[in-house]
Amino acid sequence: MDADLSPAPFVLMYHSVQAYDTDPYRVTVHPDRFERQLRWLRRRGLRGVSMRELRHNPQPRQVVLTFDDGYADFATTVLPALDRYGFTATCFVIAGALGGHNSWDEPGPRKELMSAGQVRRIAAAGVEIGSHNLHHVHMTRLGNGELHDQVNRSRLILSDLIGAPVTGFCYPYGDAGPREAEAVAAAGYEYACAVGRIEPVSRHTLPRTFIGDRDTAPRLYAKAARHRLHRTRVAL
C-alpha cells in the first residue's frame, strides 16, 4: 500500500455550543453536554486537535474537532472549555458574514457570529481558522465564475484577517461534488471537510461525524465504531 496513505481521521463536526430553548436544525449543543463529551474523549485517552495539528504533528489517539459557521459562542464558551482539557480545534468561518448572524437558518433561532476581532483572538490562541466559503450558499448551485470567487475571496479575506495562510475549507451544507472539490483544490486549500461521505474520498472530501446535543456516551461509542468500520485511506 502507498506509504503516503493513512486512515481517514475521526473528524467530529460541531456547530454552536450554548444554552437554548428550541433548536429545529439540531446545530446546538448545551455547554453541559459539550463538557461531558470532552470528558468522554479524555477518559478514552483521546485528545481533541485541529486538522492542522493532525496533518503536521500526527500523534496516536488524536481526534479532530471542527466547528462550522463561526458562531460567537465559540469565543465565549467553546474556547475556554477546550483550554480546560488541553484540546484545540479548527473553526470554519464564513468570511462574508463576520459580526453577522445565521441568516441562512431563518426562521430558526438567531445566533450571532464572531466578529473580526474575535476571529483574530481565537487564532492567536492556537485555533486553526478555515474557510466556510464567502457566504453560506449551496456551492453546487453556483456558476463556475461565482464558485471561483466564493472559494478564493474567502481565503484571501481570512488570511489577511489573521495574518497567516488559511489552508482548510468546509463545504456549506456539505454540498459538494467533483467540480466543487476541484475548485477548492485549485484555490490553494490543502484539505477540505465534507459532511458525511462524498465519493471519491480524498483530502478535499474528508468525511466528518456530526455531533449533537443528544450524543451521550453510548452514542459516541457507536459513532466511533462506525468510523472505524467505514474509514478509508487518504493522503493527508
Q: Identity (one letter) of the amino acid at 204?
A: H
Query: pTM for the whole thing?
Result: 0.96
Residue 192: which domain range? 6-234
**Residue 92's beta-bridge partner residues?**
68, 130
Q: How many CA atoms lie within 13 A of 44 on its CB side?
A: 18
198 pLDDT more than 80: no
Mean pLDDT of the chain: 94
pLDDT at residue 1 in the model: 32
1 occurs within a structural domain: no
Number of domains in the chain: 1
Tell me 114's DSSP state: P
117 occurs within a structural domain: yes
Count of H-run helices and E-run strands, the chain: 8, 12
CA-to-CA distance for 206 and 197, rounded, in angstroms?
7
Tell me 75's DSSP state: I
Q: What is the pLDDT of residues 65-116, one digit of tens each?
A: 999 999 999 999 999 999 999 999 999 999 999 999 999 998 889 999 999 9
The SS3 of residue 101 is strand
Which long-range CB contacts under 8 A does 215-223 form with residues at least 24 apart?
A: 215/29, 215/33, 215/37, 216/36, 217/36, 217/40, 220/37, 220/40
Pairing status of strand 209-210 against strand 11-14: parallel
132 occurs within a structural domain: yes
pLDDT at residue 3 in the model: 44
CATH label of the domain that carries residue 53? 3.20.20.370
CA-to-CA distance for 142 and 124, rounded, in angstroms?
33
